[in-house]
Structure 1
Amino acid sequence: MTPQPWRALALAGVLLAAGCVLPPKDDAPQQTALAAADLGLAGAAAPHAAEGWWTAFGDPQLDRLVDQALAQHPSLAEALARVRGAQAQALAAGAPLRPGVTLDGDESRQRLSENYIYPPAQYGFAASGGNMAWLGQVGLNLNWDLDFWGRQAALLGQARAQARAAQLDAVSARLALSGSIAHAYVQLYQSYALADIAGQALRQRETLLKLTQGRVRAGLDTQVELKTAEAALPQARSARLQADSQRELAVHHLAALAGHGADAYAAIGRPQLTLDAALPLPDALPLDLLSRRPDVLAARARVEAASAGRTAARAAFFPDISLKAFAGYQAVGLDDLFDAGSKVYGVGPALHLPIFDAQRLKAGYLGASAELDDAIARYNDTVLSAVRDVADQLSLVDSLGRQIVQARARLDATEAAYALAQRRYGAGLSSQLVVLNAESNVLDARRELVTLNANLVIARVSLLLTLGGSFNPAPPNTDVAAGVPS
Structure 2
Amino acid sequence: MSPFTPVPGDTVSKPAADRRFAPFHRTAGASRAWRPLLLAAAVALSACTVGPDYQRPTSAPAVVFKAAEGWKTADPADVLSRGDWWRLYGDPVLDDLVARLNANNQNLAAAEAQYRQARALVGGARAAFFPTLGANAGVTRSGQNGSGGSGGSLGNDGLYAGGGSSVSKSYDANLSVSWELDLWGKLRRQLESDRAGMQASAADLAATRLSLQSELVQDYLQLRVLDAQKRLLVSTMDAYGKALRLTENQYRAGIVPKSDVAQARTQLKSTEAQSIDLDYQRAQLEHAIAVLMGVAPSSFQLAAEERVPEPPGVPAGVPSVLLERRPDIAAAERRVMGANASIGVAEAAYYPDLTLSASGGYRSGSFNDWISAPNRFWSIGPAFAMTLFDGGLIRSRVEQAEASYDQTVATYRQAVLDGFREVEDYLVQLSVFERERQVQQEALDAARESLRLIENQYKAGTVDYNSVVSLQTNTLNSERTLLTLDGNRLTASVKLIAALGGGWRPEELERPVLRQAPDERQ
Under a length normalisation based on structure 1, what TM-score does the superposition of the two structures give?
Answer: 0.84
Query: Is 1:467 aligned to 2:500, yes or no?
Result: yes
Q: Is the 8 A contact 1:109 1:133 kept in 2?
A: yes
Counterparts of 2:306 and 2:206, CA distance in 1 = 28
- Partner amino acid for 2:288? H
Q: 2:137 aligns with which of 95, 101, 105?
A: 105
Residue 40 of structure 1 corresponds to 63
Alignment of 1:354-373 (within 5 A): 354-373=387-406
Q: 1:57 to 1:354 in 2, by over 3 A?
A: same
Q: Is the 8 A contact 1:164 1:477 kept in 2?
A: yes
Q: Is the 8 A contact 1:23 1:362 kept in 2?
A: no
Specify the SS of the correspondent of 1:288.
helix
Q: 2:203 aligns with which of 168, 178, 183?
A: 168
Query: Is 1:58 aligned to 2:81, yes or no?
Result: no
Residue 230 of structure 1 corresponds to 265
Query: Is 1:193 aligned to 2:193, yes or no?
Result: no
Alignment of 1:69-148 (within 5 A): 69-111=101-143, 131-148=166-183
Residue 296 of structure 2 corresponds to 261
Specify the SS of the correspondent of 1:367.
helix
Gaps of 5+ in 2: 12-50, 147-155, 514-522
- Partner amino acid for 1:460? S
Counterparts of 1:269 and 1:370, CA distance in 2 = 55
Q: 2:491 aligns with which of 442, 451, 458?
A: 458
Counterparts of 2:340 and 2:307, CA distance in 1 = 47
- Partner amino acid for 1:391? E
- Partner amino acid for 1:291? E
Counterparts of 1:353 and 1:271, CA distance in 2 = 73
Specify the SS of the correspondent of 2:128.
helix
Residue 387 of structure 1 corresponds to 420
Per-residue CA distance 1:425-484 (angstroms, 9 max, x = gap): 11112221221122122111211111111221221122111111111111865679xxxx
Counterparts of 2:244 and 2:466, CA distance in 1 = 13
Q: 1:159 aligns with which of 194, 198, 208?
A: 194
Under a length normalisation based on structure 2, what TM-score does the superposition of the two structures give?
Answer: 0.78
Counterparts of 1:432 and 1:125, CA distance in 2 = 121
Residue 406 of structure 1 corresponds to 439
Q: 1:313 to 1:41 in 2, by over 3 A?
A: farther
Q: 2:465 aligns with which of 413, 424, 432?
A: 432
Specify the SS of the correspondent of 2:350.
coil
Counterparts of 1:190 and 1:78, CA distance in 2 = 32
- Partner amino acid for 2:210? L
- Partner amino acid for 2:289? L
Specify the SS of the correspondent of 2:402.
helix
Gaps of 5+ in 1: 1-15, 115-123, 481-486
- Partner amino acid for 1:269? A
Query: Is 1:375 aligned to 2:408, yes or no?
Result: yes
Specify the SS of the correspondent of 1:270.
coil
Q: 1:419 to 1:41 in 2, by over 3 A?
A: same
Q: 1:218 to 1:128 in 2, by over 3 A?
A: closer
Query: Is 1:276 aligned to 2:310, yes or no?
Result: yes
Quote the offset at 1:240 in angstroms.
Answer: 1.7
Q: Is the 8 A contact 1:188 1:250 kept in 2?
A: yes
Residue 311 of structure 1 corresponds to 344
Counterparts of 2:83 and 2:409, CA distance in 1 = 31
- Partner amino acid for 2:58? A
Q: Is the 8 A contact 1:58 1:274 kept in 2?
A: no
Q: Is the 8 A contact 1:181 1:257 kept in 2?
A: yes
Q: 1:272 to 1:232 in 2, by over 3 A?
A: closer
Counterparts of 1:225 and 1:274, CA distance in 2 = 37
- Partner amino acid for 1:404? R
Per-residue CA distance 1:144-184 (angstroms, 9 max, x = gap): 11122211211111111111111111111111111111100
Specify the SS of the correspondent of 2:504.
coil
Q: 1:462 to 1:271 in 2, by over 3 A?
A: farther
Counterparts of 1:258 and 1:446, CA distance in 2 = 33
Quote the offset at 1:334 in angstroms.
Answer: 1.8
Specify the SS of the correspondent of 2:359.
strand
Counterparts of 1:285 and 1:223, CA distance in 2 = 66
Quote the offset at 1:375 in angstroms.
Answer: 1.2
Quote the offset at 1:285 in angstroms.
Answer: 3.7
Counterparts of 1:376 and 1:275, CA distance in 2 = 41
Query: Is 1:241 aligned to 2:276, yes or no?
Result: yes
Per-residue CA distance 1:248-288 (angstroms, 9 max, x = gap): 222222222222213334x3111465623645x22454431
Q: 1:233 to 1:128 in 2, by over 3 A?
A: closer
Per-residue CA distance 1:213-250 (angstroms, 9 max, x = gap): 23333433223333322333332221121122222222
Q: Is the 8 A contact 1:172 1:295 kept in 2?
A: yes
Moved more, 283-292 or 161-170: 283-292
Instruction: Please tell me the root mean square deviation across aligned C-alpha atoms, in Å.
Output: 3.2
Q: Is the 8 A contact 1:56 1:278 kept in 2?
A: yes
Counterparts of 2:411 and 2:305, CA distance in 1 = 39
Counterparts of 2:94 and 2:509, CA distance in 1 = 34
Quote the offset at 1:368 in angstroms.
Answer: 1.7
Quote the offset at 1:37 in angstroms.
Answer: 6.7
Counterparts of 1:479 and 1:261, CA distance in 2 = 28
- Partner amino acid for 2:394? L
Specify the SS of the correspondent of 1:256.
helix
Counterparts of 1:140 and 1:339, CA distance in 2 = 16
Moved more, 282-291 or 241-250: 282-291
